[in-house]
Amino acid sequence: MTEENAEKTPVEKTSTEAAGRATGLSRRGVLGAGGAGVLAGAALGAGLVSVARADDSAAPTYGGRIPFHGDHQAGIATPVQDRLHFAAFDVVTTDRARLVAMLREWTIAAEAMTAGRPAGRGAVGGNVLAPPDDTGEALGLDASRLTLTIGFGPSLFGRFGLEGRRPAALVDLPHFPGDRLDPARSGGDLCVQACADDPQVAVHAVRNLARIGFGVVSVRWSQLGFGKTSSTTPDAQTPRNMMGFKDGTENVPGTDAAQLDEHVWATAEDGADWMAGGSYLVARRIRMHIETWDRTGLREQEDIIGRDKGEGAPRGRQKERDKVILEAMKPDAHVRLAHPDTNGGAKILRRGYSFTDGTDGLGRLDAGLFFLAYQRNVTKGFVQIQKSLGADALNEYIQHVGSGVFAVPPGVAKGGFWGDTLFT
Amino acid sequence: MRSVPLLAVTGLLSVTALAACGGEDKPADPNALTITSTDTECEVSKTELAAGSNTFKILNKGTQVTEVYFYGPDGKIVSEKENIGPGTNYDITVSLSSGDQQIACKPGMVGDGIKQNIKVSGQASALDPRLTKAVADYRAYIDAQIADTMAKTQKFAESVKKGDVDGAKALYAQSRFGWESIEPVAEAFGDIDPKVDLREADLESGDTWSGWHKIEKALWVKKTTKGEEGTADQLLADLKTLQDQVHTVDITPASMANGAKELLDEVATGKITGEEEAFSHTDLVDFQANLDGAQKVFELLKPVVVEKDAALDKTLTDGFATLQTLLKKYDEGNGAKTSYDKVKPADRKELSDAVNALAEPLSKLAATVG
């Protein structure tokens, strides 16, 4: 916050920020309407029901709060926010107790930040000789639908007494033709997916977790995403990816409990009891060859994707949500090869984001899709579909350059902590 | 050193802390001290103050960006805050010592500004005797480190003046060791630090370059000592000035702790990146000196830390041990370390992680002993 901002938000009191944790006030708790704002905030909080429980009537509005606690972690079936900061961490300690203690600390910070409160004892108002617990750049911003979702990578399971706890479903991804994976953008013992409507809220969350984690974990790589490419709310407008096409029209809806149970949520019967209610995440950094794509004729672009560019209608149909006729598409069309009917019914919940990391040394846009997909079974989900996409006409314009696979544990109950089903 | 502080006010001067910005709408504390800076005036709400920690709210009611300086009874800058925009305010906490002194507002941030006389009386509350001892022991450590750096710089200068390039190269890193172990103290003297430790990349146009790094470049890039004889003499003279003046620095337990944190900051921003020793690549020797200097501070404060925050004590004890062990891997005998250009990116990341792991809890030390 700059001095100028302080002047422009005269109602906000920094002393309240500091007290936020103790009183349960949000970062914006007393903004605007003074005491009434607090009441409104409390009422909103009480009225929220986890969307993961298929109750979409209470879906939080833009900028609001998504409950941290629940049967499933938020950030999977909950509505997709606009922005992403995804971070993969290496565990640098050999001390299991320190790792568990950090996961508890992370959970407390995540509970606060997803509720729009600062981490720890806040960003201001504490001992002036000490650096503040919270880094402060989210002061005055609302909860912004922040969700924080943790996952555990395969490399974690050889240590900390976790040998034998690795779920069979957490497979190492095979090499796919065309992969050019950078080890510096791949793997990780832990991951945190931070999604929010305001990018500063997402970055703030990862920054504060990384800071809490110093000495226990170290950021291995991270990725910012600036625009959602998939929606988990079918009534929402389907977003477009960097190729200009609508992406994720037939995604698993976050409100469809039957589909989520079939394709997304793991059960104890799937091989690891601690993963019941969790899911498996595949993250891929997919670089797009933007310049060559932009030089491709419109008909060819539409043939490659299998939908028309304007409406998003499948080939041979009129409207975006008209039933797909696979046979109307070219044999190597992307949508055809990725479709459940081509893959034995395989479906994954996509939650990817467009990224642009400036330009590369050759003046080309370093842009693409940071693909995030949740599924109950990685082999039957992503691996099956990606094998099918080996013949994809789109491969000429994309390249997978980063990769990670993570077991995403079930949601946290009040009083519990991230990964408690694995570590206790 | 990384930058050229025109007015090097670091944690080791009497600056206790700077608070964040605050809104003017805060409920007015009747005892709060205010400094109102306008285009023509510098008004301090109370001009007779008690020694010790005082918090001021600086209000800029002028039309220009302003800055405020606190001068001690000896006329030296005790604290300062720059870039306070028109219509904004800033809270600053300053530790004042007894005597007549001045506060200056500088609307437009030029010139001597508008000065206001203040009278400070009394004594700051007595320190825990263990902390008094820690400060005294730290002063002795500073003196020893300066003596060490001067003795080794003397030999280094002799090699330079003899034209012995190899001899000078061998002595270069060790001549800096004592300096690097107490650098935040030296930075309190704003003019000495840039004279002895300025890097080429930090030169501004019109600056005259002097000090260790100028000779470093001559030795490693030009491969000669020619023309650096005067630089070597000047370096020794500047270190002598530091030795003569260092006893005037106000040292408190909190400023010691902040200095330790600053030493780790030096590592994190200058050594891990290999920027400090761009030609000699002796960064790891500086790293060792910074680490040893920070550890010395912690060990001196430890008796109080153990009592006030046993968990922090354990974290710091373990953190220093871990980083020392890691750094030992790069020992090449006689104080020499692996040339930093030979340290691979993955190993640099390992060092960086260990520095972050220690520096984060170390940042809590000042509040624990302050």
Cβ A4–B367 below 8 Å, yes or no? no
In which band, very low, low, confident or very high, does the pLDDT at B135 lie, cut at 50, 70 and 90?
very high
Which of B85, B364, B367 lies at the smallest CB-CB distance from A4? Answer: B85
Q: How close is the nearest chain B Cα to the Cα of A284, in Å?
A: 23
Which of A123, A124, A211 lies at the smallest CB-CB distance from B360? Answer: A211
Cβ A130–B367 below 8 Å, yes or no? yes
Of A79-88, B87-96, B220-229, which range is least confident?
B87-96
- C-alpha to C-alpha distance for B183 and B187, rounded to whole angstroms: 6
- C-alpha to C-alpha distance for A30 and A40, rounded to whole angstroms: 10
Task: Give the pTM.
Answer: 0.78
Cβ A13–B24 below 8 Å, yes or no? no
The CA–CA distances, whole Å, from B245 to B134, B241, B248 equal: 20, 6, 6
Of A16-20, B53-57, B228-232, which range is least confident?
A16-20
CA B96 to chain centre: 19
pLDDT of residue B332: 96
pLDDT of residue B27: 44
The CA–CA distances, whole Å, from B288 to A323, B210, B301, B359 equal: 68, 24, 20, 15
Which of B18, B25, B89 lies at the smallest CB-CB distance from A3? Answer: B89
Cβ B102 vs Cβ B71: under 8 Å: yes
Which of A14, A127, A216 lies at the smallest CB-CB distance from B22? Answer: A14
B348: pLDDT strictly greater than 50: yes
Q: Tally A–B CB contacts below 8 A.
A: 80
The CA–CA distances, whole Å, from B35 to B94, B280, B343, B350 equal: 13, 48, 51, 47
Mean per-residue pLDDT of chain A: 87
- Residues B285-314: what's their mean pLDDT? 96
Fold classification of B126-370 (topology level): A middle domain of Talin 1 (1.20.1420)
pLDDT of residue B1: 53
More confident site: A271 or B57: B57
B138: pLDDT strictly greater than 50: yes
B160 three-state secondary structure? helix
Cβ B357–A14 below 8 Å, yes or no? no
Question: Does the CB of B98 have a partner CB in chain A at under 8 Å?
Answer: no
Interface of B with A in 294-313 (CB under 8 A): none
The secondary structure of residue A240, as a DSSP letter, is: B
* End-to-end CA, chain B: 26
Domain ranges of chain A: 3-175+183-234
The secondary structure of residue A269, as a DSSP letter, is: G
- Locate B135 and state its tokens: 């400060």
Handedness of CA A201, A204, A208, A214 (dihedral sign): positive
- C-alpha to C-alpha distance for A285 and A257, rounded to whole angstroms: 29
- Locate A150 and state its tokens: 């943790």
- Residues B125-132: what's their mean pLDDT? 82
The secondary structure of residue B218, as a DSSP letter, is: I
Q: Which of A3, A137, A139 to mutate to test the interface with B (most CBs of B within 10 A)?
A: A3
In which band, very low, low, confident or very high, does the pLDDT at B111 lie, cut at 50, 70 and 90?
confident
Q: Give me the percent of chain B exceeding a pLDDT of 70.
A: 91
pLDDT of residue A63: 78
Mean per-residue pLDDT of chain B: 88
* Angle, alpha carbons B171-B177-B181 (nearest 5°): 175
Beta strand ranges found along A40-120 (DSSP E) = 83-91
Segments of chain A scoring below 70 in pLDDT: 1-26, 28-60
- Residues B119-139: what's their mean pLDDT? 87
- C-alpha to C-alpha distance for B160 and B171, rounded to whole angstroms: 10
pLDDT of residue A33: 35
**ipTM, 2 dp:** 0.78
- C-alpha to C-alpha distance for A232 and A77, rounded to whole angstroms: 7
Class of domain B13-121: mainly beta
Cβ B23–A14 below 8 Å, yes or no? yes
HSE (CB half, 13 Å, CA atoms) of B117?
Answer: 3
Domain ranges of chain B: 13-121, 126-370
Cβ A3–B254 below 8 Å, yes or no? no
